Amino acid sequence: MELQLGLPLFYFLLLGFAILMYVLLDGFDLGIGILYPWFNSDAEHDHLMRSISHVWDGNETWLVFGGVILFGAFPAAYASIASMLYLPIMLMLIGLIFRGVAFEYRFKSQRSKIWWNRSFAIGSSLAAFCQGLMLGVLVQGVDANNLALSSLQWLTPFSLFTGLAVMAGYALLACTYLTMKSRGAIQQKAARYGQRLLLFVMLCMLLVSLFTLLTQPEIRVRWFAGGYSLLLMLLPLAAGLTARLLFRDLGRVQRQFAADTDINSRHESRPFWLAATLFLLAFAGLVVGLFPYLLPRQLSFYAAAAPNSSLTFMLPGILIFVPLILAYTLWGYHIFRGKVEDYQEGY
Amino acid sequence: MELDAALLSRLQFAFTVSFHIIFPSITIGLATLIAIWEGLWLKTANPVYLQLAKFWIKPFAITFGMGVVSGIVLSYEFGTNFSEFSRITGAVLGPLMAYEVLTAFFLEAGFLGIMLFGWQRVGPKLHFFATVVVAIGTWISAFWIIAANSWMHTPAGHIIVDGVFQVDSWWQVIFNPSMPYRFSHMLLAAFITAIFVVLATSAWQLLHSEHKTMARKGLSMTLWLALILTPLQVFVGDLHGLNVKQHQPVKLAAMEGLWAEREAGVPLLLFAIPDRAAEKNHFEIAIPKLASLILTHDADGELMGLKAVPADERPNVAVVFFSFRIMVGIGMLMLMVALLGAYLRWRGNLYHSRWFLTACSYLAPSGVIAVLAGWYVVEVGRQPWLVQGLLRTIDVVSPLPPERVLFSLTLFVITYSLLFGVYLYFMRKLIKKGPPALEQLQQQLIGVKASGYAVALVKQLTPAQEKN
């Protein structure tokens, strides 16, 4: 029994890891697109695009990875979740298409540039919004008596709210990324927006937590009556502390710039890691509520797991290639380390 | 008219997968060619190879981008539109795709950034390495997806437990009976597709642009490659056909337009109009006994026809029949071009024969059309099955409300039509613009890493001032 549950649990954790990687990596990358309309000049837009043009493809691959892990390790969950969330998934894909091609065509266009700007900003926002919408469905749970694919139960005020919340979260990540990768006016703008977005994101997290605790007794019990409730209380505490540090760092970057002193490079790069930590903590909180379900209170990971023959077949591939992927992805980021240079020519 | 969700889902999948295949079938070969040029440049220091690599990397980048965005759609469409199929076959096909992502997608994406944007960040050798890795990544990707697809044609190595597929032997699942043939056929097809894109462009450049040195090199190399690969493809295609005869005789019968339950001395139909209702062909133009000779290596050999199975187990014969003829026709045309090119080269007027160059310049889309036609033979020929003999397509479609599928299908048709127009526009623009000048290339590569910035910076500032 122990061993039989071991493999599905491993894949459940792997799926969580893939989603987290995707949210962090494509998060800042989609976030750039969400922030895009708040930057005005062509030069600023060039800079924004350039800051992620070499990584967006790799970042988006984590989404495909999450999808195929769900497909290969939990086919029943992949089948029911994907068909239930048909429209949000389709809209997300269309959004990703429009923003993805904008990278290729924008730099090669003159007259049509404005359309690629729109395509990038709207596509990124739509994709992020749909992801938030789906998150909302997973948090809220689905009605067991209403599983027909014709229902529109993914469309609720709550899921619309989480859609906006995820957009804000991604934009926050992008602000901290720009604080790290840019200089001057763009950096200052990013730090300023970052502070405001942080306040909004914290408010969203608070509201989502309250809503979940109020509407879902099982989750309430888990947080307050389980044996781990003291330990679990560390999560919101740590989130609060991280947010405070992040807010202060973003403030420092602005003050040092205003005082015309050299900006401490640690203060430039730390916000990104703090924002990532904030995402990690929020994600952990989410998993606490959801475990062990892939589809809340309908389908647990062990009920949806593929037969052992499939799970063991993928295992060596994952154990060998995931560390390799992380290594060369890190190396790629290392090669493009430092500030984004506007005069640097592409291929 | 009553909307049919199953039909709409199938249309949507056919449309999105057809759109997608266009791009990888170009990038697989193009990545390989770019890697070859970069390698030759490192070896010989002949700048014309660098010029070729630098010129083609731009069309490569936009083609690759189109492939990525249209590919992500497919990885979710199994679940959204064919949920029963995903549930039933997930344990077999899911892990194959997981391996594709693990061993290929991340690899391509990880090194693509360096290949496209790393010219000034890494040395030429490391850059070459990145390009080679991207090329190899495209092959690995083809390997896994062809394995998964082939399993749907010739399933092996599985057991069925409670109506769900489980794997008994992964070796048999991956190297299922049609996989080696389909993989070689497709990989060759992808190489040839890219070769003809470059061949056509080089021919056009010889006729209409001033970059003659590069164009000559491109034309010469691609004609040599075509001379080797197109006959090889005919040979592999023949083997693949024999494999279809053995494992999917109904598909073969549709390809040949053969109705009679069994027939000896089957003629090769050059043209006919298959009639599903009447179960016969109209307007046949045939070469006697040739089909038997090709497929059984005996002029009086027997072949199985469509009537050997009930009507509801036959594919749409006309689609398979005509697609097959389009594919083979284009293949023969390519072979002729390769042979003619060799003859002209031998006579010494390859670069001056205007009619030959003009003809070549029209062949840019030939490979893509042949690949699409070939895939229609393969996929439509398997119908009504989704997994040959085991799972019918109609039984495993998601029970979605039809208007929802109609909505997404409409979105895809609009989006993809728009993007395809844009893609062609930019391809044309890039090709008309031509390669960077040789002097400029030297300048750009004076320094790598930090010193390269300075050069690039100066370069960026000077033209801006000159313009004022």
According to the model, what pLDDT value does residue B452 have? 46
Question: What pLDDT sits at residue B103?
Answer: 94
Q: Identify the residue among A59, A104, A116, A326 best suited for mutation to test binding to B, counting B beta carbons within 10 A and taking the highest.
A: A104
- pLDDT at position B442: 63
Ranking A140-144, A197-201, B100-104 by mean pLDDT, the lowest is: A140-144
* Average pLDDT of chain A, as a whole number: 89
CA distance B414 to B409: 9
Q: How do beta strands B268-275 and B280-287 pair?
A: antiparallel
ipTM of the complex, rounded to two decimals = 0.89
Q: Do B400 and A86 touch (CB under 8 A)?
A: yes
Q: What is the gyration radius of the CA atoms in chain A, in angstroms?
A: 21
Instruction: Say yes or no to pLDDT of A104 above 90.
Output: no
User: Which has more confidence, B366 or A336?
Assistant: B366
CB contact under 8 A, B65 and A103: yes
**Cross-chain residue pair A101–B65, CB shorter than 8 Å:** yes
Global pTM value: 0.90
Using CA atoms in the order B388, B392, B393, B395, what is the torsion angle rounded to 10 degrees?
-160
What mean pLDDT is predicted for residues A327-338?
88
Q: How confident is the model at residue A2 (pLDDT cuts 50, 70, 90)?
A: very low
Q: Write out the H or E segment, with its range, that includes residue A78.
A: helix A75-84
Note the pLDDT of residue A1: 42
Q: Is A65 an interface residue toward B (CB < 8 Å)?
A: yes
Alpha-carbon Rg of chain B, whole angstroms? Answer: 24
pLDDT by residue for chain B (468 residues), tens only, comes to: 577 889 999 999 999 999 999 999 999 999 999 999 999 999 988 888 999 999 999 999 999 999 999 998 998 899 899 988 999 999 999 999 999 999 999 999 999 988 998 888 888 899 999 999 999 999 999 999 999 999 999 999 999 988 899 999 999 999 999 999 999 999 999 999 999 999 999 999 999 988 888 999 999 999 999 999 999 999 999 999 999 988 999 999 999 888 888 888 888 888 989 988 888 888 888 888 888 888 888 888 888 888 889 988 999 999 999 999 999 999 999 999 999 999 999 998 888 889 999 999 999 999 999 999 999 999 999 989 999 989 999 889 988 888 889 999 999 999 999 999 999 999 999 998 888 877 777 655 544 444 444 545 455 555 444 433
How far lies B429's CA from each of A109, B205, B346, B432, B435, in Å? 10, 13, 34, 5, 12
A273-324 pLDDT, tens digit per residue, is 999 999 999 999 888 888 888 888 788 888 888 888 899 999 999 999 999 9
**Is A63 part of the contact surface with chain B (CB cutoff 8 Å)?**
yes
- Cβ contacts from A onto B, under 8 A: 247
Q: Hey, where are the domains in chain A? A: 2-335
Q: Residues, chain B, total?
A: 468
Residues 154-213 of B with CB under 8 A from A: 161, 164, 166-168, 170
